[in-house]
Amino acid sequence: MSQAQTSQARASQAIVLPETSNPLISFVRSVVPAPLRWGIRNAVRQWTRQRLFFVKLLLGDINPLVNNWPDRGQSIHRVYTEAYLEQHHGDIHGHCLEFQEATYLAKFGTGAVTQQDILHHNTENPLATIVADLTGANDVPSNTFDCIICTYVLHLVPEVEAMVAELHRILKPGGVLLVVVPNITVNYDEFDEFWRFTGAGMRVLLRRSFGKQQVTTQSFGNAITAMRELYGLGASSCRSGLLTRQDPRYALAVCARAVKGQSLGASGLGSVG
């Protein structure tokens, strides 16, 4: 057999490696149920990250621990978002609208939602039941929704005032808009982000369409949770006592509730305070 034939024959032989399994790992897998194993793994990961966090701070390392979403677990601003929606779950009823997906309608609108729509501004989202750009002319009928959940949308919209006017138009009289936007946050590469809102800024924006008496805001976050979020730590890195202490100077989530006045077509009510 020539050298070329020999190497061809060798290459065509399937290389089968013996199955290497660590008997200790196999034993643990057979006796510890998967959810418990995952819980332990996450706890170990969190414990390690906490220590790494302090080491990196001490070393003055400016690179966050985690840069991408899924790796950090539930983010701190989402815990605040859910706390706000939970607080206002009584508003989430009847015909409701959410952006991109119905995550929060499913979680907080149980039983009371009679009809739901998902809005996306372009045709790329198969979950969308309404495709509309709410900053320009669109086909969404006026006075349609009892509740609109508008989380993490307004900071992405250049013509944000026009969008708020549209949100007001498509709500039924007496309908409620629940908004959550970031204040302190990372500028993520995957989105074009235009705005950051303080509580006062959000009130000014919403009052232009909803009127002075109809808007309330609430801010969530403090210096420590803000620092942790910016550094890539998730909610599980924070004790619940830390999450419940709010300091509006360091808001991670600015939340707002705006109610459309009862008179049909009411808009541009009141001056900006």
Ligand X SMILES: C[S@@+](CC[C@H](N)C(=O)[O-])C[C@H]1O[C@@H](n2cnc3c(N)ncnc32)[C@H](O)[C@@H]1O
Work out whether 171 is an interface residue with ligand X (CB under 6 A): no
Smallest gap from residue 239 Cβ to ligand X (A): 25
Choice between 205 and 261, CB closer to ligand X: 205
Question: Of how many residues is the chain composed?
Answer: 273
Smallest gap from residue 53 Cβ to ligand X (A): 26
Footprint (CB under 6 A) of ligand X, residues 126-145:
133-135
Residues 27 and 226: their CA atoms lie apart, in Å, by 42
Q: 48: which residues sit within 8 A by CB, 6+ positions away?
A: none
Smallest gap from residue 93 Cβ to ligand X (A): 18
21-52 as b/e: b if 16+ CB within 10 A? eeeeeeeeeeeeeeeeeeeeeeeeeeeebeee
The binding track of 75-104 with respect to ligand X, each residue x by CB under 6 A or -, is -----------------------xxxx---
Residues 10 and 7: their CA atoms lie apart, in Å, by 5
Choice between 133 and 247, CB closer to ligand X: 133
Work out whether 169 is an interface residue with ligand X (CB under 6 A): no
**Element containing residue 114 per DSSP (H, E):** strand 113-120
Work out whether 49 is an interface residue with ligand X (CB under 6 A): no
Work out whether 192 is an interface residue with ligand X (CB under 6 A): no
Residues forming contacts to ligand X in the complex (CB under 6 A) are: 98-101, 119-121, 133-135, 151-153, 156-157
